[in-house]
C-alpha cells in the first residue's frame, strides 16, 4: 500500500483555468491547444515552458504588475505580459530571446535593489519565488545604489549607516498567532490582496499608497493583523511569493521536505490538505489545489489549528478505575482492555445482552466507525449504536429519505458556481463551513442572489460586496411555518414547475400537498404573527426563489435541531421539487454537515435501526449479507438511540457504554440528565484524545489517535470519500481502529484487520453504494462521491438526475406544530445556539490551540432593548436560566439578535450551555431541540452553584495516579 503520496502535478500554472472552445497556438515552436480565454502564461506552463513570473499565481486572476513575464508575439508590437494576454488561434509566441532576457533581468534587478539579501537566514529560503526568479532570469549583480545624500530609498533597512531611522521601514507584525507580516520583504505584487478578495472573500488587505510608497495594509481601521477583519484563513500566506507573509511554524521549524495528502478533520466541508513535514515533524498544512471540495482553499481551523495533537493535556496511556470517585490508574493496554472486556461481559451476563451499547464518532474515519457499530452488532449482539448525528442531522436522514429516497446532499460543492438564487436556512456557513462560504460568496459577488432564513443576523447575511436580497429573521422554532408559507406563495401564484412535478413526482401526493399549502391559513399574512417574518418580505423571497433561475438550498442545524426538524427537512425538499430545482448543476438540497465525518458515520450504519448503507435491520435480506460476512446472527429489532440509552440508564436497564471520540456530556442537551445517565452506568469506556467531560463519568479511558496518526477515509457533506493518510506514528501507540479491534478481540471476537483498506473492502463487499470504493480507486481518482459502483464507476457528483432514488419524489404535508418549549412569565426569552469560525464544536481540539485568541469564552448575545429592561450592560456577568438549569456567562449587547431572542455558542465546558437546553426533541428522530429554549436572564456576579459543583467534580474525577512501577 502506497501511503506517502507525492502530488503529481502541483505546479503553479500562473493564471486560473478557463473553460471554452479549444484554441491552438505555437509557443517556442511547440503546438499547444488550450481552452479559449486561457492566458499565454498558462498555455506555456501547460506545455512545460514556464515563463518567469512574480505577481501571477493560478489561485487568483492575473494583475500584470511585475512585467517579469513579458513575451514576444509575432505580429504584435512590444512585449506584452503573458499573464494578462489571452491566447488566440495561430498565435506565435516566443518566451526566450536576448531582448526578453535583458528586460527580465532589468525587472529583477530593480526588485532586488529594494530587497534584503539575507536569503540564507530567511524563513523562506528554498521556498521563495523571488529567489527562484532571480536564478531563472540569471541575475548576477545589482547596480542600483541610493543617490548620495538622498536617504536610504529602500524599505528593508531599519537605519542607515549613521544610525538614523529609515522612515520607509516598518516593523514586523506578528500579532496573528500563526503567521507574520514582515513589510521589509514585500515586493508589492498584491497576490495576497487578490487572494483575500477572490479566494477568501474577506477583503481584509489593501495596497495603500502609490508608487514607491505602496504598502500592503490590514485595512485602515487598525494597525495589526489580529485586530483587522482578517479571519486568518491563510490564503494570503499561501499566495505570497516571499517570506513577507510567512507561517510561524516554518520560521520555527524550517522549510518542509516531504508532503502527504490528507483530509481536514474539522468540519463537513472536508478540505484536502498537503501535510508538509520534516521527518515526522509537521511543519505546515497547505490546502491541496486538486482537492475537489476546497480547490486549494482552507480556513483557520484546518490550516493552523492542529497543535492539539501535541498538547500536554493529551492522554497517551490507557487508564482504569473501579468507580468514578477514584483517581485514574495508568495501566498497560492489555490490562485496560481485559478490564473493559470483563466489565462489559459481566454486565451483559447480569443485565442482559441489550444492557450495553456504543456511540460511534463522527470525527473518526469511516473504517473506525464501521468497526464500532460492528462491535455492538456482532460482538455485543444488539443494535445499540448511535452517533452524534443523532443530535445534528438525523432529521436529514429521515426527511430526505422519505421525500427523495436517500439521506444525503444532492450536489457537489462546485455546483454553487452555477446557482442563481442561493437560499441558506438555519446555517451560518461563514462560521461553520468557511470554505464553502468562500466559494458561495464568490458566486454572490458575481451576481447570484441570496436568501437567508435565520433568527439572527449572522455574518453570512452580509459581507464585502454582497448582501442578502432577503433575510427572513424568523422566531426560533417556526421554520415549518416559514417554509410552508413560501410553498403557499409558489403554489397559489402559480410559480411552480408543473412539468417537473408531473414527470418526476407523485402527482396524487402533489395534489394533496397543493391543496394543503393553498389553504389561506398558510399564507405569509396569516403566519406573520407566528413567525415574525413580514409577509411582503416572505412573498418576495418565495417569488425570487421560484423564478430567479437555478435555486439551491443549503441548510444546517438551525433546521434540524427542532421538535419539527424532520418536518422542516421535508418542507425544504418540497420547495426544491415544486420549483424543479433537483437533478442538475446549480440547484439541489444540501445539508451542511457539521463534523468532518458525520456523513460517513451515518453511511456506516451508526444508527440503531440501520445497517451500513441505510438499510433497515428488519430486512432479512440485508441482515443475511452481514450475517454471512460476520458469521453471527443479527438482532432484527432496532436498538437504543443516545437519548434512549440515557433514559434507560437512569431507569437502571442500560449499564455499559463504549464511547469513541464523542463528548456526550458536553455536546448533548440537558447536561444534568446526561450526567445522571452516565453516573448510573457500571462501565463507561471513553476512547478519546483528552479527558473530556464524559470521561468524568468513565471507568476506562482508552487514548485515541489524531487524524494525522492514522489511515482511513472521511466522507464530507457532498458524499465525497476522501483519504486520510497517516503522516506520523500514533503517539498513543495505536490508531483508533486498532483499539476497537483489540477491545473486540478481548471480548472474544477474532478480527484480523491489518490495514484500514481491508475494512473498506469489507464495506464495499456488503454495501452496494460503496461497491466500487477501494483504496486503489481512491489513490487513482483522489476522491469519489458515493454511490460508486458498477452503475456509477466514477462516483456520483449529482444525485437524482433522471429520477429520484426512490422513484417518484414524494410531496409530504408539513403542518406547523408549535414547540412545547414556550416562553412565559418565568422564561420570557428564546435562547438559540450556534458556533463561531475559530472554534469547533465542543472545542476539545480548538481550545487547545492558539485559536483561543479569537474566542476565549462563550458570550451571550442579547438585544440592547432586552438588556436595558434587565439592567444588563456590555460585558456584565449574567445568569441564564431555563426550566432545566442555569449557568452564568458574560453578555454582549447587539442587534444581530431580535428583541426576545438571545444567542450563545457552546465551545467552552465552563459555560455548559447545555445545562440550559431541554430534553425536547424531533418527533421522528429524537434529534434534540437545541435551537429553542425558553430562558430568563438576570444580572449575576459569578458562576452558578452548578458550575462550581461541576468544576469540583470534574477536578476530582480527573486525578491520575502515577503509574505503578
Binding site for ligand SF4 (CB under 6 A): 186-192, 195-196, 200, 202, 204-205, 216, 230-236, 239-242, 244-245, 264, 266-267, 269-271, 294, 298-299, 301-302, 434-435
CA–CA dist 331, 703 (Å, integer): 12
Q: Quick check: 637 binds another protein (CB under 8 A)?
A: yes
DSSP string, 545-576: HHHSSSEEEEE-HHHHSSTTHHHHHHHHHHHH
Cα of first residue to Cα of last residue in the chain, in angstroms, is: 39
618 is a site residue for another protein (CB under 8 A) = yes
Residue 196 interacts, among ligand FES, another protein, ligand SF4, none and using kind-specific CB cut-offs from 5 to 8 Å, with: ligand SF4
Is residue 125 within 8 Å of 250, Cβ to Cβ? no
Shortest gap between Cβ of 202 and ligand SF4 (angstroms)? 4
> 238, 671, 926, 944: which one contacts another protein (CB under 8 A)?
926
Choose the binding region for ligand FES from 58-66, 317-325, 609-617, 743-751 (rule: CB under 6 A).
58-66
53 binds, among ligand FES, ligand SF4, another protein, none (CB under 5 to 8 A by kind): ligand FES
Considering CB distances under 5 to 8 angstroms, the limit depending on partner class, which of ligand FES, ligand SF4, another protein, none binds residue 67?
A: ligand FES
Q: Is 609 in the site for another protein (CB under 8 A)?
A: yes
Which CB atom, from 83 or from 379, has the smaller least distance to ligand FES?
83
What's the min distance (Å) between Cβ of 404 and another protein? 18
Across-strand partners of 591? 555
Contact region with another protein (CB under 8 A), list: 469-477, 537-545, 782-790, 916-924: 916-924
Residue 941 sits at the vertex; the CA angle it makes with 944 and 938, to the nearest 5 degrees, is 80
Binds 68, which of ligand FES, another protein, ligand SF4, none (CB < 5 to 8 A, cut-off by type)? ligand FES
Q: Which is nearer to ligand SF4, 302 or 583 (CB)?
A: 302
Of 631-690, binders to ligand FES (CB under 6 A) are: none
In degrees, rounded to 5, the angle at the alpha carbon of residue 915 between the alpha carbons of residues 308 and 313 is 20
CA–CA gap between residue 913 and residue 836 (Å, rounded): 15
Mapped onto helix, strand or coil, the DSSP state of residue 11 is coil
Separation between Cα atoms, residue 517 and residue 534, nearest integer Å: 18
Q: Is 406 in the site for ligand FES (CB under 6 A)?
A: no
Residue 633 CB, nearest distance to ligand SF4 (Å)?
40
For another protein, which residue of 653, 758, 792, 953 counts as binding (CB under 8 A)? Answer: 653
Rounded to whole angstroms, the Cα distance separating 965 from 951 reads 31
Query: Which one of 35, 64, 106, 638 is in contact with another protein (CB under 8 A)?
Result: 638
* CB-CB neighbours of 122 under 10 Å: 20
State the minimum distance, in angstroms, from the CB of residue 358 to another protein.
14
Comparison of 512 and 958: residue with beta carbon closer to another protein: 512
47 binding ligand FES? (CB under 6 A): no
Choose between 53 and 847: whose C-beta lies nearer to ligand FES. Answer: 53
Residue 639 binding another protein, by CB under 8 A: yes
Which of ligand FES, another protein, ligand SF4, none does residue 270 bind (CB under 5 to 8 Å by kind)? ligand SF4
Q: Note whether 55 binds ligand FES by CB under 6 A.
A: yes
- Using left for φ > 0, alpha for ψ between -120 and 50, and beta otherwise, residue 370 falls in alpha
Residue 102 neighbours by CB under 8 Å, 6+ apart: none
Q: How far does Cα 792 stand from its chain's mean position? A: 27
Judged by CB under 8 A, which stretch of 99-107, 191-199, 622-630, 640-648 contacts another protein?
A: 640-648
Task: Give the distance between the most distant pair of CA atoms in the chain.
Answer: 94
Contact 344, 656 (CB under 8 A): yes
Lookup result for grid cell 442531522: 393
Residue 109 lies near another protein (rule: CB under 8 A): no
Q: Which does 572 bind (CB under 5 to 8 A by kind): ligand FES, ligand SF4, another protein, none?
A: none
Query: Residues, the chain, total?
Result: 965
Is the separation of the CB atoms in 285 and 273 below 8 Å? Answer: yes
Q: Does 806 contact another protein by CB under 8 A?
A: no
CB 856 within 8 A of CB 923: no
Q: Is 68 in the site for ligand FES (CB under 6 A)?
A: yes
Cis peptide before 787 (omega within 30 of 0): yes
Contact window for another protein (CB under 8 A) among 209-217, 631-639, 772-780, 855-863: 631-639
- Min dist CB 4 to ligand SF4, Å, is 22
Of residues 388, 387, 371, the one with CA closest to residue 747: 371
CB of 254 to ligand SF4, least distance (A): 20
Kindly state whether residue 65 participates in binding ligand FES, applying the rule CB under 6 A: yes
CA 195 from centre of chain: 20
Torsion over CA: 821, 826, 829, 835 (sign): negative
CA-based nearest residue to 699, from 958, 324, 360: 324
- In the 8-state DSSP scheme, what is residue 935? E
CB of 303 to ligand SF4, least distance (A): 6
The stretch near another protein (CB under 8 A) out of 68-76, 462-470, 810-818, 948-956 is 810-818
Is residue 648 within the footprint of another protein (CB under 8 A)? yes
Residue 116 binds which of another protein, ligand FES, ligand SF4, none (CB < 5-8 A, kind-dependent): none
**Contact at 8 Å (CB) between 888 and 816?**
no
> Is 757 one of the binding residues for another protein (CB under 8 A)?
no
Please provide the DSSP assignment of 400-444 as one string: HHHHTSSSS-SS-GGGGGG-SEEEEES--HHHHSHHHHHHHHHHH
Does the protein bind ligand FES through residue 191 (CB under 6 A)?
Answer: no
C-alpha cell at 898: 431580535
The DSSP bridge pattern shows strands 683-688 and 700-703 to be parallel
- DSSP H or E stretch at residue 35: strand 30-35
Which of 54, 124, 286, 872: binder of ligand FES (CB under 6 A)? Answer: 54
- Beta carbons of 599 and 425 less than 8 angstroms apart: no
638 binds, among ligand FES, ligand SF4, another protein, none (CB under 5 to 8 A by kind): another protein
Please state the closest distance from residue 556 (CB atom) to ligand SF4, in A: 13
Q: What is the CA radius of gyration of the chain?
A: 29
Q: Least distance in Å: CB of 192 to ligand SF4?
A: 3
Is 823 an interacting residue with respect to another protein (CB under 8 A)? no
What distances in angstroms separate CA 493 from CA 512, 579, 896, one per listed residue?
A: 17, 12, 33
Question: Binding to another protein by residue 574, rule CB under 8 A?
Answer: no
User: Which of another protein, ligand FES, ligand SF4, none interacts with 354 (beta carbon under 5 to 8 A by kind)?
Assistant: another protein
Applying CB under 8 A, among 528, 923, 951, 960 the residue interacting with another protein is 923
Q: Interface with ligand FES includes 489 (CB under 6 A)? A: no
Q: Do the beta carbons of residue 702 and residue 685 sit within 8 Å?
A: yes
512, 521, 826, 958: which one binds another protein (CB under 8 A): 512
Contact (Cβ atoms closer than 8 angstroms) between residue 883 and residue 827: yes
Over the window 78 to 117, marking each residue x when it contacts ligand FES by CB under 6 A and - when it does not, the resulting string is: ---x-x----------------------------------
CB closest to ligand SF4, residue no: 302
CA–CA separation, 368 vs 371, rounded Å?
A: 5
Pairing of strands 245-247, 179-181: antiparallel
List residues near another protein by CB under 8 A: 354, 383-384, 512, 563, 567, 608-609, 616, 618, 637-641, 644, 647-648, 650-651, 653, 812-815, 817, 919, 921, 923-926
In the complex, which residues of this chain contact ligand FES (CB under 6 A)? 53-56, 64-69, 81, 83
Amino acid at each position: 500500500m502506497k501511503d506517502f503520496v507525492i502530488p503529481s502535478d502541483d505546479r503553479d500554472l500562473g493564471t486560473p483555468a478557463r473553460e471554452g472552445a479549444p484554441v491552438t497556438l505555437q509557443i517556442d515552436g511547440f503546438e499547444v491547444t488550450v481552452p479559449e480565454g486561457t492566458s499565454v502564461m498558462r498555455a506555456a506552463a501547460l506545455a512545460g515552458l514556464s515563463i518567469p513570473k512574480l505577481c501571477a499565481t493560478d489561485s487568483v486572476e492575473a494583475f500584470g504588475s511585475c512585467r517579469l513575464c513579458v513575451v514576444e508575439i509575432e505580429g504584435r508590437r512590444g512585449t506584452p505580459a503573458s499573464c494578462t494576454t489571452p491566447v488566440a488561434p495561430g498565435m506565435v509566441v516566443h518566451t526566450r530571446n536576448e531582448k526578453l532576457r535583458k528586460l527580465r533581468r532589468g525587472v529583477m534587478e530593480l526588485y532586488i535593489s529594494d530587497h534584503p539579501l539575507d536569503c540564507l537566514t530567511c524563513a523562506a529560503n528554498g521556498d521563495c519565488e523571488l529567489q527562484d526568479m532571480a536564478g531563472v532570469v540569471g541575475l548576477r549583480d545589482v547596480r542600483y545604489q541610493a543617490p548620495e545624500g538622498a536617504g536610504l530609498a529602500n524599505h528593508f533597512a531599519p537605519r542607515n549607516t549613521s544610525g538614523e531611522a529609515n522612515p520607509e521601514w516598518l516593523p514586523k507584525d506578528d500579532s496573528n498567532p500563526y503567521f507574520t507580516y514582515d513589510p521589509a520583504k514585500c515586493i508589492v505584487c498584491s497576490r495576497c490582496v487578490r487572494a483575500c478578495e477572490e479566494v477568501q472573500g474577506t477583503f481584509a488587505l489593501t495596497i495603500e499608497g502609490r508608487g514607491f510608497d505602496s504598502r500592503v495594509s490590514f485595512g485602515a481601521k487598525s494597525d495589526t493583523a489580529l485586530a483587522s477583519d482578517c479571519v486568518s484563513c491563510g490564503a494570503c500566506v499561501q499566495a505570497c511569493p516571499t517570506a513577507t507573509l510567512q507561517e510561524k511554524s516554518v520560521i520555527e521549524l524550517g522549510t518542509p521536505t516531504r508532503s502527504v495528502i490528507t483530509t481536514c478533520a474539522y468540519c463537513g466541508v472536508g478540505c484536502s490538505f498537503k501535510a508538509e513535514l520534516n521527518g515526522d515533524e509537521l511543519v505546515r498544512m497547505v490546502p491541496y489545489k486538486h482537492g475537489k471540495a476546497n480547490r486549494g482553499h482552507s480556513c483557520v481551523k484546518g490550516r493552523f489549528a492542529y497543535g492539539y495533537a501535541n498538547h500536554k493535556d493529551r492522554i497517551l496511556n490507557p487508564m482504569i478505575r473501579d468507580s468514578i470517585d477514584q483517581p485514574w490508574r495508568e495501566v498497560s493496554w492489555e490490562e485496560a482492555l481485559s478490564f473493559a472486556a470483563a466489565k462489559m461481559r459481566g454486565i451483559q451476563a447480569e443485565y442482559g445482552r441489550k444492557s450495553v451499547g456504543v456511540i460511534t464518532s463522527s470525527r473518526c474515519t469511516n473504517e473506525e466507525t464501521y468497526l464500532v457499530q460492528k462491535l455492538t452488532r456482532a460482538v455485543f449482539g444488539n443494535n445499540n449504536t448511535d452517533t452524534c448525528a443523532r443530535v445534528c442531522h438525523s432529521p436529514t436522514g429521515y426527511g430526505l429519505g422519505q421525500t427523495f429516497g436517500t439521506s444525503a446532499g444532492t450536489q457537489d460543492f462546485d455546483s454553487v458556481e452555477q446557482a442563481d438564487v442561493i437560499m441558506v436556512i438555519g446555517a451560518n456557513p461563514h462560521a461553520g463551513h468557511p470554505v464553502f462560504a468562500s466559494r458561495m460568496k464568490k458566486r454572490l459577488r458575481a451576481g447570484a442572489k441570496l436568501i437567508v432564513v435565520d433568527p439572527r443576523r449572522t455574518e453570512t447575511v452580509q459581507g464585502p460586496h454582497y448582501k442578502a436580497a432577503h433575510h427572513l429573521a424568523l422566531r426560533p422554532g417556526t421554520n415549518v411555518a416559514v417554509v410552508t408559507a413560501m410553498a403557499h406563495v409558489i403554489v397559489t401564484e402559480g410559480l411552480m414547475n408543473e412539468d417537473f412535478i408531473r414527470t418526476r413526482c407523485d402527482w396524487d401526493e402533489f395534489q394533496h400537498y397543493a391543496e394543503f399549502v393553498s389553504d389561506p391559513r398558510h399564507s405569509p399574512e396569516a403566519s406573520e404573527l407566528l413567525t415574525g417574518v413580514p409577509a411582503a418580505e416572505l412573498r418576495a423571497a418565495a417569488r425570487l426563489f421560484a423564478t430567479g433561475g437555478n435555486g439551491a438550498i443549503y441548510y444546517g442545524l438551525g433546521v434540524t435541531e427542532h421538535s419539527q426538524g424532520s418536518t422542516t427537512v421535508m418542507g425544504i425538499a418540497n420547495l426544491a421539487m415544486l420549483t424543479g430545482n433537483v437533478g442538475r448543476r446549480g440547484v439541489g438540497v444540501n445539508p451542511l454537515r457539521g463534523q468532518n465525518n458525520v456523513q460517513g458515520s451515518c453511511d456506516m450504519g451508526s444508527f440503531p435501526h440501520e445497517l451500513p448503507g441505510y438499510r433497515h435491520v428488519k430486512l432479512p435480506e440485508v441482515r443475511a449479507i452481514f450475517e454471512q460476512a460476520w458469521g453471527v446472527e443479527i438482532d432484527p429489532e432496532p436498538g437504543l438511540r443516545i437519548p434512549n440509552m440515557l433514559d434507560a440508564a437512569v431507569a437502571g436497564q442500560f449499564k455499559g457504554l463504549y464511547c469513541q471520540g464523542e463528548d456526550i456530556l458536553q455536546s448533548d442537551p440537558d447536561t444534568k440528565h446526561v450526567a445522571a445517565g452516565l453516573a448510573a452506568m457500571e462501565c463507561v469506556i471513553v476512547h478519546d484524545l483528552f479527558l473530556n467531560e464524559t470521561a468524568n463519568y468513565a471507568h476506562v479511558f482508552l487514548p485515541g489517535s489524531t487524524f494525522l496518526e492514522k489511515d482511513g477515509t472521511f466522507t464530507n457533506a457532498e458524499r465525497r470519500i476522501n483519504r486520510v493518510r497517516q503522516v506520523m506514528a500514533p503517539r498513543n501507540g495505536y490508531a483508533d481502529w486498532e483499539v476497537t479491534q483489540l477491545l473486540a478481540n478481548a471480548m472474544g471476537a477474532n478480527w484480523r484487520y491489518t490495514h484500514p483498506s481491508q475494512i473498506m473492502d469489507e464495506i464495499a463487499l456488503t454495501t452496494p453504494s460503496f461497491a466500487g470504493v477501494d483504496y486503489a480507486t481512491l489513490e487513482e481518482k483522489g476522491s469519489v462521491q458515493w454511490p460508486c459502483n458498477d452503475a456509477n464507476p466514477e462516483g456520483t457528483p449529482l444525485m437524482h438526475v433522471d429520477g429520484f432514488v426512490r422513484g417518484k419524489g414524494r410531496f409530504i404535508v408539513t403542518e406547523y406544530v408549535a414547540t412545547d418549549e414556550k416562553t412565559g412569565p418565568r422564561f420570557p426569552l428564546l435562547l438559540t445556539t450556534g458556533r463561531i469560525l475559530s472554534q469547533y464544536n465542543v472545542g476539545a481540539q480548538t481550545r487547545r490551540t492558539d485559536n483561543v485568541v479569537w474566542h476565549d469564552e462563550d458570550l451571550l448575545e442579547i438585544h440592547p432593548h432586552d438588556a436595558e429592561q434587565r439592567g444588563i450592560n456590555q460585558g456584565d456577568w449574567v445568569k441564564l436560566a431555563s426550566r432545566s438549569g442555569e449557568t452564568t456567562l458574560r453578555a454582549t449587547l447587539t442587534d444581530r439578535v431580535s428583541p426576545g431572542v438571545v444567542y450563545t455558542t457552546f465551545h467552552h465546558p465552563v459555560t455548559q450551555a447545555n445545562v440550559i437546553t431541554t430534553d425536547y426533541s424531533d418527533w421522528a428522530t429524537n434529534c434534540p431541540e437545541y435551537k429553542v429554549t425558553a430562558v430568563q436572564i438576570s444580572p449575576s456576579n459569578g458562576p452558578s452553584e452548578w458550575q462550581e459543583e461541576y468544576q469540583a467534580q470534574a477536578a476530582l474525577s480527573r486525578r491520575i495516579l502515577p503509574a505503578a512501577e
